[in-house]
Structure 1
Amino acid sequence: MTMPQPDPEEPRIAMPELTLPALRQAVATVVPSRLPEFFEDMQTAFVRAGEEGTVLPIRMFYRQWGVVVEIERHPATARRLHLAERAMDDPDEEIRARAVREIGDIVRNAHRAVADG
């Protein structure tokens, strides 16, 4: 008996709250290879917040990683993004231009989704 394959259009996980524990768990689930980057960005954000006396760097960190999770939790969207990122190295200028547009569309849509919460 084979297990049914997940629908690539369905999110792998629900969109988490923009909190450190929720985002950490979401990153660990949908893109665990980026956990070191997540922790490095977290460290940088908290240090900047302390140095600047504002929580803005922390809010920006939450938003940035919320966007990453929003993209990566949708397998088809993540696949499109990663294909476009690889196309950025293509020698053909038109392929690179299409890749830039595709990446921009995906990231803008993810930002809107995170902002709409």
Structure 2
Amino acid sequence: MTTSADGQPLIPQPPAMVTALRQAIAQITPAALPAFTRELDQAADQSRQGSGLSPLRRFTAQWAVYVYIQRQPHLAANLRHWEDLAETGGSAQALRAASELGKILDEAHAALTMPQP
């Protein structure tokens, strides 16, 4: 991942549209592209099988949050730290990690649902 020396996001937050998200992921975390494509195919299949657009909306919302976090190196590192602690720590550490991960995800969701100036 490219880093930003001044603590600014690596790229602007793209709109929650498949093409824009794919381009952003290709820039900041290209290793995530296979998962993006696999999950897009699954969401499209679910939509075709009669689920309406909900699977595609969930997909774009999930990946918009991913991009929001990954485009900010400090936030992405913080997320990885808490994910690692959740996997390797004891039960008290795992509970704290779950709480911190929830805060990061809540922040991302809130930022993406706020009206933009």
So what's the TM-score if we normalise by structure 1? 0.89
Residue 41 of structure 1 is matched in structure 2 by 39
Question: In structure 1, which of residues 52, 55, 60 is the aligned counterpart of residue 53 of structure 2?
Answer: 55
Deviation at 1:96, TM superposition (A): 1.5
1:94 corresponds to 2:92: yes
Instruction: Give the length in aligned residue pairs.
Output: 112
Task: Give, in whole Å, the separation in 2 of the partners of 1:91 and 1:54.
Answer: 40
Instruction: Please tell me whether Structure 1 or Structure 2 has the larger radius of gyration of its CA atoms.
Output: 1
Structure 1 residues 53 and 95, CA, compared in 2 at 3 Å: closer, same or farther?
Answer: closer
Residue 83 of structure 2 is matched in structure 1 by 85
Q: Which runs of 5+ in 2 are unaligned?
A: none
* One-letter amino acid of the structure 2 residue matched with residue 96 of structure 1: A
Identity over aligned pairs, percent: 32
Residues 1-117 of structure 1 correspond to what in structure 2 (within 5 A)?
6-7=5-6, 9-116=7-114
* One-letter amino acid of the structure 2 residue matched with residue 47 of structure 1: D
- The 10-residue stretch of structure 1 (75-84 or 47-56) with the greater mean CA deviation from structure 2: 47-56
Deviation at 1:113, TM superposition (A): 1.3
Deviation at 1:89, TM superposition (A): 2.1
Q: Which runs of 5+ in 1 are unaligned?
A: none
Moved over 6 A (4+): none
